[in-house]
Every structure is written in C-alpha cells, then in structure tokens.
Structure 1
Amino acid sequence: MAASRPISKKTAYWGVPWEENYGYPQARQVGNDIYISGQFNHDEDGNLVAPAPLNSEGKPSDFSTMGEQMSKAYDNISKLLALYGASLDDVVEETLYVLDMDAAFAVVGNVRKAAFGSEHPQCASNIIGVSRLAQRSQLIEIACKAVMGARAD
C-alpha cells in the first residue's frame, strides 16, 4: 500500500500495523513545516527490506545491510514528503538512529549524497547510537523535519 493521507490533509500514513498499534502518523504538516516520524527499511506493504540476520539472542549479528536499509529509509522519507509537494531538498534537519556507529559511518556519506542528489546536502544532520530499534532486524531509523520552500540555492 502506498503512503496516503486518509485522516486529514495534514497527516500521512503507510497503513502498516505498527501505526495502529502505537497510534501515530508517519508525517504531520504544521504550516510550512513537515515532521517525518522515524522511517526505516520497510516497503509499502510493511515487509522489511534487507533485514539484518539475528543471533540466538534476537540481536543483529551482521551489519552489512546498513547501506541498503539507510537507502530504503530515505526512499520512504521521499515518498512521504511528495504527498505534501516537498522533497529531500526541503529537509532542514535529520536524525539518524543507528545500532552500529562504525557500520553507519562506512556508508552514510555515499548513501546521503545519493539520496539528496548532492555532494553537499544542505541539511543539519545528527547521528545517534542506540541499543535497540522497533524491529529486531532493523539497523537504522531516520526522522526529519522539512520546511516547504527551504530548498538551498
């Protein structure tokens, strides 16, 4: 299912089970600001893309899919922003939550530059190491704020 705005023009949803269980929209527009909830490596049907293999304790045992997961998260962000007529060019701040900082730093430069279509993305960026994310095989989650008309020239 594609991202949509079924409840109001100001909120967006994927229609995935965790939205209902947790009780939140994927995006919310307030004036010219668009707040994107943490996006990760799921497709439009809620299936995980490039999930990390888990060890016997249910924790990721291999971080080699970090780049694929990161790319999918940016793809999801782009699709949500498009619902509002915005793009990654309008993103002014992002926060990346990662399980492994070394794996993230190995790929983040190339993935971000490709996602933003620029060698110098004009977006404040934070990266934070965490001990766990919502889905056990998830390695990264990205939340951001966009401002309509904020595109850097």
Structure 2
Amino acid sequence: MTDRAESFGVPWEKSYGYVQAVRRGDTIYLSGQVAHDGTELVAPAPVNDAGQVTDFANTGEQLRRCYANAAELLRRFGASLDDVVEEVIYVVDADAGDAAAGPVRKEAYGRPDPQVASTMIGTPRLAFPELLVEVRLVARV
C-alpha cells in the first residue's frame, strides 16, 4: 500500500510538471490519458492553419489508445481496467465522442455494461490541437 507514482517519460510530463499516475493507499489516480505512443500522437486529427480540427473521425481510435495507455499504467500497479471505479472523458466534439464511447468503452472494459461511473465533458480544445479525446480515471485496489 506504499504511495508511489508512474510516468511514461514523455516530454510534456517534465514541461508541464506532473506524473501519469499516483497511488495513495488503495486508490490509483490517473492523469488524463491521451492517444500517444511514446512521443508520437496516435491517429492525430487533421487541423487547419488556425489549429482547429477539421475532421473528428479518429475519435474512436484515439479513445482506444487512451484506454491502452491507462491499462499499461494500471498494470504497473498490479491493477487493471477491472479496478476502475470512475472515469471522465473529455471530447472536442460531443457527437463524435458519444458515437465512439459506447463501443470503445465496452471493448476496453470487456463487457457490455462497464461497471464504471462515467462522465463525458465537451471542451473546445485539449493539450495538443490534434487531440480529440482525453480520459481521466480512478481505480481502487
């Protein structure tokens, strides 16, 4: 039950000043997970010259990667997505997020009725213009 933290070692952890996950007692708090594989964004959305997203079709693919990154962090604590009790999904486009979230969440949690308190919030932009979705999770072990 020792307190500890985990990171991916991506540059934005140092520049912003945070860790990806912290365990306090029997609770694991995950920072918002985005679609990246190392320092590369996964399925980045196309953006125009003003940095505005022009196509939201990659929302589902990005969401899958968010859950994969979350699962990797949880694994480091001996936990899994089965231990998640709460999630907040931030989406740049609510319609695209709503369309992707049901199937992708059910796939990630491995059941048709994920036993997770879930909230979806629309936001005008995330940390990088090419991001369409970010997921913050809390797990209990």
Q: TM-score, normalised by structure 2?
A: 0.97
Matched length: 140
Show the counterpart of 1:83.
76
Residues in 1 aligned to 2:131 and 2:58: alpha-carbon distance in whole angstroms = 9
Identity %: 49
How much has 1:107 moved relative to structure 2? 1.2
Q: TM-score, normalised by structure 1?
A: 0.90
1:131 is aligned to 2:124: yes
- TM-superposition CA deviations, 1:62-82 (whole Å, max 9, x none): 000000000000000000000
- TM-superposition CA deviations, 1:93-148 (whole Å, max 9, x none): 00000000000111110000000000010000000000110011000000010000
**Greater strand share, structure number:** 2
Q: Please, which of 108, 114, 124 is the counterpart of residue 121 of structure 1?
A: 114
Residues in 2 aligned to 1:9 and 1:125: alpha-carbon distance in whole angstroms = 25
Letter in 2 for 1:107: A
RMSD: 1.0
Residues in 2 aligned to 1:147 and 1:9: alpha-carbon distance in whole angstroms = 13
Residues in 1 aligned to 2:69 and 2:39: alpha-carbon distance in whole angstroms = 11
Show the counterpart of 2:7.
13
1:4-153 to 2 correspondence within 5 Å?
10-43=4-37, 45-148=38-141
Runs of 4+ residues deviating >2 angstroms: none
Residues in 2 aligned to 1:101 and 1:17: alpha-carbon distance in whole angstroms = 29
CA contact 2:88–2:118 (8 Å) conserved in 1: yes
Q: Which runs of 5+ in 2 are unaligned?
A: none
Q: Which one is further off, 63-72 or 52-61?
A: 52-61
